[in-house]
Amino acid sequence: MANELWPCPCGIGDRFDYEGCGQEVQVEHIKAYVCKPASTDKAVIVIHDIFGWQLPNTRYMADMLAANGYIAICPDFFAGKEPWKPSDDWSKFDDWLKTRDARKINKEADAVLKYLKEQCGAKKLGVVGFCWGGVAVHHLMMTYPELKAGVSLYGLIKDSDDISNLLNPTFFIFAEKDDFIPLHQVTLLEQKLKKNCKVDYEVKIYPGQTHGFVHRKREDINPQDKPYIEEGRKDMINWLNKYV
């Protein structure tokens, strides 16, 4: 069962028992999980949560994207540093997080983009990210114009954050019952985007859902969540299909 008492939002929901259909590769100074369809020039970078690039849940998302016609790559954006483990000392979490800034990943992003273009023949690029990775999507969509679409899934935002200077269309997925992203922050984000954003965007709140619902919760645990899990995944793919 899901342990709703874990102090980390990404810990809500079960870890998938999933092997993965792709393979691990070396991309310059980092490792990455890659899953490729038969033939395509479209690729999506999949950015992990605090549990790192090897989490089966995130690889499941990458494989799902590959099944929908995208080269999907999930790099180790922690660049070899240890991911967080549920058994770690939560009193040290803030210090751990300081050494893994989701806004300081340009070196890794550059390596991955080069790999996709030169080794995979990718010409159309997008990015999706979960929780920590959702914050990374905010950063990348304001930094890399070659990323034609972004999907940020429950990326933490603060009242002071202004991510309205997006370069290309970005979709924001939030959960109504997210204890870690208050709805007033989502409302403030919408206000800033409406006022300042020059590209297409969408902000969507999924009723009754908690943080991590798209990639962490399993339908057999919470059957009432299944329609929203499926809707979130479908919305993510539809956004990519529209703009990538």
Cα–Cα distance measured from residue 46 to residue 181, given in angstroms and rounded to the nearest whole number? 21
Lowest mean pLDDT among 106-110, 131-135, 220-224: 220-224
Q: Which SS3 state, helix, strand or coil, does residue 90 take?
A: helix
**Alpha helix locations (H) across the chain?**
56-67, 93-98, 106-119, 132-141, 183-196, 226-243
Average pLDDT for residues 121-132, to the nearest whole number? Answer: 97
Question: Using an 8 Å Cβ cutoff, are 64 and 22 in contact?
Answer: no
Just list the catalytic residues: 131, 178, 211
The type of residue at 184 is: H
CA-nearest of 115, 109, 64 to 237 is 64
Average pLDDT for residues 89-109, to the nearest whole number? Answer: 95
User: Does the pLDDT at position 240 exceed 50?
Assistant: yes
pLDDT tens digits, one per residue of 58-95 = 999 999 999 999 999 999 999 999 999 988 998 999 99
| pLDDT of res. 41 | 97
User: Does the pLDDT at position 233 exceed 50?
Assistant: yes
Lowest mean pLDDT among 54-58, 127-131, 142-146: 54-58
Cα–Cα distance measured from residue 46 to residue 64, given in angstroms and rounded to the nearest whole number? 11
Mean residue pLDDT of the chain comes to 90
145 CB-near residues (< 8 Å, 6+ apart): 167, 168
CATH architecture of 17-243: 3-Layer(aba) Sandwich (3.40)
Name the burial class of residue 197, with classes exposed (0-12), middle (13-18) and buried (19+) by CB atoms within 10 angstroms of its CB: middle
Name the burial class of residue 179, with classes exposed (0-12), middle (13-18) and buried (19+) by CB atoms within 10 angstroms of its CB: exposed
Q: Binning pLDDT at 50, 70 and 90, where does residue 7 land?
A: very low
Helix and strand tally (H, E) in the chain? 6, 8
Q: Binning pLDDT at 50, 70 and 90, where does residue 3 land?
A: very low
pLDDT tens digits, one per residue of 152-181 = 999 999 888 899 999 999 999 999 999 899
Q: What are the structural domain ranges in the chain?
A: 17-243
Q: Which two tokens stand for residue 214?
A: 């798209």
Query: What is the torsional sign of CA 95, 101, 107, 112?
Result: positive
Between helix 56-67 and helix 226-243 the angle, nearest 10°, is: 50
